[in-house]
Amino acid sequence: MTRRAVVGAAIVDDLRRPTRLLAAQRAEPSSLAGGWELPGGKVEPGEGPIDALHREVQEELDVRVRLGDQVPGPLTAAGAAWPLGASYAMQVWWAEIIDGTPEFGPEHQAIRWLTPDELYDVAWLTDDLPIVQRLEAAFRCTG
């Protein structure tokens, strides 16, 4: 079965020396509401993942970002994506804001900038935990 493509942004304060990660708390659907995630969403038919990520970040947070490297996940056949349940695969890129101040819209109930020591202070969606661990390792290397 082919997994539906999702993209996520690991938005940090500074791509070269990250000290904070932006986490967003979902408002919907009820099964996921309250859980924390990386901003992003589904890639639309005919859309490339990078375009989708820029679109989602603009829609959800009203900011423009510069993308850094991809944060590779274990699903190599799905473009180094991370599994989300059985149906989705999320490609993740590092990102930094180049225009705007993030404001959450109807998709979210809150956003937070987390230091490496605060990374697990929020209730990440279950499938995000391995991704956050990977991000944490990168923070600790460059911090």
Ligand X SMILES: Nc1nc2c([nH]c(=O)n2[C@H]2C[C@H](O)[C@@H](COP(=O)(O)OP(=O)(O)OP(=O)(O)O)O2)c(=O)[nH]1
- Binding interface with ligand X (CB under 6 A): 6, 8, 32, 37-38, 40-42, 84, 88, 90, 125, 127-128
Measured from the CB atom, the residue of 11 and 97 that comes closer to ligand X is 11
In the complex, minimum distance from the CB of residue 117 to ligand X, in angstroms, rounded to a whole number = 21
| Torsion angle of C-alpha atoms 14, 20, 112, 7, degrees rounded to 10 | 60
Measured from the CB atom, the residue of 16 and 128 that comes closer to ligand X is 128
In the complex, minimum distance from the CB of residue 88 to ligand X, in angstroms, rounded to a whole number = 5
Measured from the CB atom, the residue of 62 and 127 that comes closer to ligand X is 127
Q: Look-up: residue for tokens 């600790």?
A: 140
In the complex, minimum distance from the CB of residue 90 to ligand X, in angstroms, rounded to a whole number = 6
Measured from the CB atom, the residue of 20 and 42 that comes closer to ligand X is 42
Closest CA to 60 of 22, 6, 105, 11: 105
Taking the C-alpha atoms of residue 113 and residue 21, their distance in angstroms, rounded to an integer, is: 5
Shortest Cβ contact with ligand X: which residue? 41
Q: What is the DSSP letter of 6?
A: E
> What's the token pair of residue 142?
């460059």
Per the omega criterion (within 30 degrees of 0), is the bond before 74 cis? no
In the complex, minimum distance from the CB of residue 100 to ligand X, in angstroms, rounded to a whole number = 18
